[in-house]
Structure 1
Amino acid sequence: MEEQIIEIRSELTLLKAKYTTSHSAVQAKLRELQRLEQERSVLLNSEQTGLDSDQLWDIASAAGTGSSSREFQPLLITQLQNLQIVRGRYESLKQETSSLESMIAELTANAKNYGSNAKQLLRLQRDVTLKRELYDELVERYEMAELTGSLGIFEQNKRVKVIDLPYTPSSSTNLPAIVFAILGVIAGIALGVGTAIFLELFDTTIRRRQQLEDAKLPVITAIPKISI
């Protein structure tokens, strides 16, 4: 049918080039073109319920070979091809939609667990840092121990040397005990005298009348000495 429409349109173009639109031949071609277009629109708008693509292909093939079946109108081959293309796109979009929905669900679950995962990641990073510092320190100690052990084995005979042999002294090196006793007595006397002088100098107690007179202070009364 589409080939007929294309052929009629080409003939109509040639006729319009020769004649006016009111010419009978042009009008006949226009009526034929309108009829075919109406038939095509009816075919496109007709409902073919309960048929899959294979059945539609069978119907189109039967219509193309001149089948006498009157139950279904013949469909255009291009429309069937478009139908299959659209159906394939629909299936692919359906699969993509399902995969996107699963991805959205997974991302939603990951977003909910983001806080706990972030805390766990920070804790693991801190543990890794501490373990790495501890490992570096242990490696440094191990290398130092190996170096010290190597030096100890190499210089074992040279680290300790005997300069002079020990000997027993012939006499005591300490002073006699009498000397320490005399020094102790002298030190005690000096300490006592110094303490007495210190207390006397800093003592402000008034014990005699002469001290008041020397200070030019009046004597109010005096307590006589009582003899028993």
Structure 2
Amino acid sequence: MRVGVFLNLHYMAAAAWRRRYAIVAPLLAAPFLALLIGAVTPKKYQSYTTLLIQETSKLNPFLADFSVSTQLKERMAALQALLHSRHMLGEVAMEMGLGDKDSGHIGDPVLNRLSHSLKVELIGSDIIKISLTDSSPHDMARTLEVTSKHFLNVLLAPERSSIDASENFLEEQLLAQQQALLAAENTLATFKSQYSGNLPGQMHFDIEQLRETEKQLQIKQVELAGADAAIETLNTQLLKANPLLASIEADIIRASAELNQLQARYTDRHSLVVAARHSLQRLRQERDALVAQTRRMSPQNIDELWRLAAEFADADEDRSAAGSRVSPLLVSQLESIQQAQSRQQQLTQETASLQQTLARLKTKLDSFAQVEQRLRELERDIATKQHIYDDLLKRYEMAKVTGALGRFEEHDRVKIIDRPFTPHAPINLPLVVYFISGALGGLFLGAAIAVILEIIDTSIIRRDVAEKIIGAPVISRLPDFRQVAIGFQSARDLTPVES
């Protein structure tokens, strides 16, 4: 095993010796070529600044709800795109005086150079590093300072704009919701004023009043029926005590007696008999009419009876005692009828009034459902608007506190760890590194060339290979006589000829 290893090393050393020129030539040329490349490579200078974006309020449990996170990790790709945007690069170039001040035009080479030289990266979760690479250290610190200033404006702009926009939006919505709430409250107040008697709180009182009114109506109807019966009774009694009726009855008796006397003297066709019969018939008709009129007696009839009773009293002052007893009885009955009719009219009016009140209460109770439904809609609308208003007011106050907190922490929000500086040495590799790199590269290149040449060379050099090909052992190795002959010929040509 060890013999095989040493044999392989011998073969490799022999191959390296055969290809010594291919190995040494790149090894000698490559370091000097690398030194030349390092000497002619443009020098590059790099400056950077490190920014610490603090979120101290996030660490405070009392202020965590009022702080706005910058979300650096989520926004880093967008911030890189903004850093290389033409808008930001144009602002930096104009502030650096790299553009035309009159027209404001900035050439694409300037923007491209700035874009390729600037780089931003996030270190950890809250440290940002902005680096600038250029071929000249002139104004690098100022360029990086201007760039970091604009970058910070872009970094903190969403927070500032979101807080300001939130305050303005919430203030506008709060005013609009306040007007809507006032309008809804005015609508409810107008509705309650318009339907003050139909509100749900009045419903129980109206129900009790309805029951009381129905009870009173029943009582008044009973009393009215009693008054009607009393008037009917008084009318019947008045028929018996009516002096007119008594006078007519007396006339009927006299007419009947006279008719009987005339019929005894004369025939039925005699003019006196016919006249007496007609007179008796007329008196009977008057009696029947008086009876019917008394039953449907009105206040006008009562007044007429009063007048007739007075005339009858004056005309019968000289009559018998029976006649003088009739007038006070008639007056008493007329007074009773008049009082009964007054009571009847009073009860009729009270009954009609109670019926109207009852109808009004029923109509009012029927309208309670619609009024209550509309009232609940208005109250629900006010409750919804009040809830939205309270929520907006709370959010508006929180937005104001958040804005005040942001303005309070604005100066301490960003800490500059490393300020921009002017580099004094380039970042290119030293020439020694180029020389060593060239030597290593030349060595590897020469070795690669030697390996390739050895692989593509088909000549038989080793004895074992020849024995394997011809199938016989090799006794001896003869030199190349052509090379020997050429050597002898060269030596003979160089030997001086004797004359």
TM-score bucket of the superposed structures, by smaller chain:
0.3 to 0.5
- Higher CA-based Rg: 2
- Greater relative CO, 1 or 2 (CA 8 Å, sep 6+): 2
Q: When you count helix as a share of all residues, which structure comes out higher? A: 2
